[in-house]
Structure 1
């Protein structure tokens, strides 16, 4: 069977093809590995391109490790001998060319080949990287070398899986080329996120880092840019920056008195953070409103998109300032807090032209709204490991945090016998292991001793004091509280057994926020409409939806992150394809809701 180059491939042709014809049509999608298409043929018919992609992933998984290793080894080295000899496949030539690898300087070529050799010695297979990147336009050579150097330190099993994930990403882009499609909405949102990232606080910007904390110049510039896009490119009817700094865009319904759906997330960041945490949840619905405006369409409800001004608690010791103002939980005592430079929140607001006295009026009237939904990057490895672009959140974990200190007796490390020690640090170390074991006893329960500090510690002194933190999270408050109670009982017992004492202070308690069943089901149907399996999962991190839960029914959609789902980190990333699916899922949810109301 000959594949015509005069017109793009279609699902109709694939679904109607024989196994051999199907395999030929997909030739080159996976490097020198026709067995993947042959196995995926059994999953026909494919309802969407996303369904086909997932079937190819499943076929690769089912092939077993030896076949997967053969797939990895079928790929050429980056800027390697095959490129020099011009024996790359057309697909690989295109990809390496887009990344500039066919035009390396002698120094770049030498460095990449040095990295290739060291990587192959360690792992036994070539370094695989989707060099066309998350946007599909090509990574820079500097980005490629940085990825090379970073991934060389991975555990072999993790790196094996990372190689496969990059192969699936390569295949995804190659399928777009075959089908003549591109993720236009995902590209738009991705480009917006990149553009927003140009605003960063000066000391961090000088190092190429992204940091946007509450009411700094970078924060205000970010808000202004969001407002400009809402007014201009997206066509919202009304756009304001409210008294706490939230950017609020309203796109009215077909009836001006209709209720509204609220959606959004935060635009502040942690220090040296990523470009997608929070911001994805603002930009995705903005893209949906833009499309509605382009089509001249109004829904039987309004849409209120909010860029929440603050969620991370980085500049002041207060969190959820933006969403808390909407739920009536803004604590006026926060206004007198000072940041590290002594600037009070109240004064920062005045400098930004905000009126703190108007914050109480921001509380939303429940009767005017349908509910709250939020799109968010997952901030974890689960979707990445499952090779799924989207996940439906079942609950935002409730959490409780403590800080404490164990007090023993500092003594000489050489002269104090092991059975006479009152070691504060080993007591905390034992606690950390007990927390780990207890948290592993139930699904989705997590416990962390994240801070351990021996004040004035010395290499030759048995620690007499050790400060520590304790963080317990679970999808329900009952599971969280049972774990916390058990851990605190074990802390008391181990301290008595070791002859040490402890002090403990609870610093935060947040209730779990289970998704409203009807809204969760809407997300599930939206994901199914894309031809994807529905994966349900809790959120271990807090979100604005957690705060809005006090006011309205809420539900969230997670989007897969790259680089093992890392977040609060410059490596935080998502692909234009995954973002495009999130936009389409959001559009489908809006259509479902409109059908229910009409």
Structure 2
């Protein structure tokens, strides 16, 4: 029998503790402390209460919890001495049916892991979907995590312990993230389409107007029709546009969406999460035969990443009238112009100017996106409310010194170009940290024609600087460029710095940010506010209408633009619920 939250809130302390028995392996003290926060508004709030208990525990208690867990396919499993919960989980993952080779490999990994970290390897083997990881996935994860830093690995073990507890809690309360599962499955199915050269390697790459890209557009359009959208089209730049009409013909529209193209060998969730979450919400409205006072326009933007052609934000740019005809003459690596690619795809180039939206017909633009960073993951918080999309600048630079013999040139007579850049890199680290939420990076650093026994006479490098406001960004840029000048003067160097890109910050519209905050709070999870360091389609729409974004926690340290990019069905369910809540707020207004 499944428990209810009402029963948990009304139960005596002993009864409530018994209801939560077995969530954390041999550690009832976690649930006992969390129950002091009753009554709970949601299971999500209860889950976070237990996270807080562990956050307040000392290191020794955390290690005690980790060491209370059995090894995967270890001695306890062989001796049938696992807890009921662990037996069920290891069985679902097929660990009780390992081949002799797999069993031997896991035993060796267990030994190596314990020797390195001093505690057993912990993995939520039922995975992000809750249905179980394959043995191959488990072994691959085991091997990969062996190389982690001990501090990071301890934190990763605890995050997996929380995920194990989340799944066990769902089982006890009969809670299934039905819509989260559907959205998760859409990601998996869409990821079957990948460009040649990558598909054969099992890698996900979808670049503008390739066969895989066009297959994705067709698949999304079919799903939109299945969800009950009234109108679905693929427009003149390849955007897939679905419209769910308002209750009255003169109603305005809420625009939402994100991109479906990917970086090379990328992840399944970047961009696509922002397409599928609102699609699930529209499907629920359609199933209920409900119309809202406003319509919903979901746009799967055809291009955001700039992978095949140099143009970026091509899909969202076209909607604000920012499509430049000179882009049509850009060539890809095979010499195919964008114009030729669009004609081959059957797109009507002459209709591109007609795509420009009249902002007066829209309430605003909102976007759901995987965080693409470690912050929510480290805080064990499922959702983040975006306060601003950082403004950024990029420079392509050279530092010029004097190449000389590494053995015969005294240290006080050198003009080392690489050391000048190294000094600048350390300054940038300190300067960005001073703001708290600025970031600065030298991502490219090269000594052209360098030799092991030659003092570098030339160093090519890049500068990337971002901040939540243009003023904050510009102040940092001014300081960094002044430091570059000072370093060059002091070291007898020369430099060249060419501005390669400058994009304005896109602060969230206060009213829309507040709606996201109310939605997140209603779910019983913390309202965490954060800037976005990455660029998003919302930046383009920001130029003509109000916008605000919601971030969803990623797994594996929040990694993105990477095959390991992922999220759980439970976190996706919370995103769907938050989106639905925003729709209800707007309807009530």
TM, length-normalised to structure 2: 0.99
- Identify the residue that residue 3 of structure 1 maps to in structure 2: none
Between the aligned partners of 2:11 and 2:62, the Cα distance in structure 1 is: 25
Is 1:526 the counterpart of 2:516 in the alignment? no
Secondary structure, counterpart of 1:150 in structure 2: helix
1:228 aligned residue: 222
Asked whether 1:314 is paired with 2:303, we answer no
Tell me if 1:408 matches 2:408.
no
Residue 202 of structure 1 corresponds to: 196
The residue aligned with 1:373 is 366
Q: Which residue of 2 aligns with 1:475?
A: 468
The aligned residue for residue 50 of structure 2 is: 56
- Cα distance in 2 for residues equivalent to 1:276 and 1:223: 16
Q: Deviations over 1:361-419 (max 9, x none)?
A: 10000111100000000000110111110010000000011011011111111111111
C-alpha separation in 2, matches of 1:301 and 1:419: 71
Q: Give the drift of 1:63.
A: 2.2
Partner of 1:593: 586
Matched, 1:335 2:341: no
In 1, distance between residues paired with 2:311 and 2:501? 11
Q: Distance in 2 between matches of 1:443 and 1:524?
A: 22
Cα deviations by residue, 1:278-302 (Å, 9 ceiling, x for unpaired)? 0000000000001111111100000
* Alpha-carbon shift at residue 19 of structure 1 (Å): 2.0
Which of 8, 11, 17 lines up with 1:17 in the alignment? 11
| C-alpha distance in structure 1 between counterparts of 2:84 and 2:325, whole Å | 63
Aligned match of 2:137: 143
Q: Secondary structure at the match of 1:220?
A: helix
State how many pairs are aligned.
Answer: 589
The Cα offsets for residues 128-161 of structure 1, whole Å up to 9 and x where unpaired, read as 0000000001101111111111111111111111
Name the CA distance, whole Å, in 2 between partners of 1:175 and 1:421: 64
Q: CA–CA distance in 2 between the matches of 1:410 and 1:396? A: 42
Deviation at 1:423, TM superposition (A): 1.0
Q: 5 Å matches for 1:11-410?
A: 11-231=5-225, 233-410=226-403
1:86-123 CA-partner distances (Å, limit 9, x unpaired) = 11111101110111100000110000010001101111
Whole-Å separation in 1 of the counterparts to 2:9 and 2:282: 34
In 2, the alpha carbon distance for the partners of 1:213 and 1:565 equals 23
Residues 429-448 of structure 1 mapped to structure 2, 5 A cutoff: 429-448=422-441
Larger mean Cα displacement after TM superposition, 420-429 or 549-558: 420-429
Distance 2:484 2:509 in 1: 36
Rounded to whole Å, the distance in 2 between the matches of 1:221 and 1:421 is 58
Distance 1:429 1:337 in 2: 35
Deviations 1:488-512 (A, max 9, x none): 0110110111111111100100000
- Structure 2: how far apart are the matches of 1:57 and 1:441? 30
For the residue of structure 2 that corresponds to 1:343, the secondary structure is coil
Query: 2:161, 2:3 → 1: CA distance?
Result: 21
Give CA deviations for 1:168-196 in whole Å, capped at 9, x if unaligned: 00000001110112100000000000000
Residue 532 of structure 1: how far off its partner (Å): 1.1
- Mind listing any 5+ residue stretches in structure 1 that lack a counterpart? 1-6
Distance 2:202 2:456 in 1: 39
Q: Partners in 2 of 1:207 and 1:501 — Cα distance?
A: 45
Match of 2:317, SS? helix
What displacement does 1:61 show?
1.6
> Hey, what's the Cα distance between the residues in 2 that align with 1:311 and 1:336?
18
- CA deviation after TM superposition for structure 1 residue 358, in Å: 1.2
Partner of 1:4: none
Deviation, structure 1 residue 64: 1.9
Whole-Å separation in 1 of the counterparts to 2:200 and 2:458: 39
Q: Flag as ranges the 4+ runs of structure 1 deviating above 6 A.
A: none
**C-alpha offsets along residues 479-537 of structure 1, whole Å, 9 cap, x if unaligned?**
00000001001101101111111111001000000000000000000001111110000
* Aligned equivalent of 1:581, options 566, 570, 574: 574
Deviations 1:284-327 (A, max 9, x none): 00000011111111000000000000000111111000000001
Inter-partner Cα distance in structure 2 for 1:100 and 1:409:
62
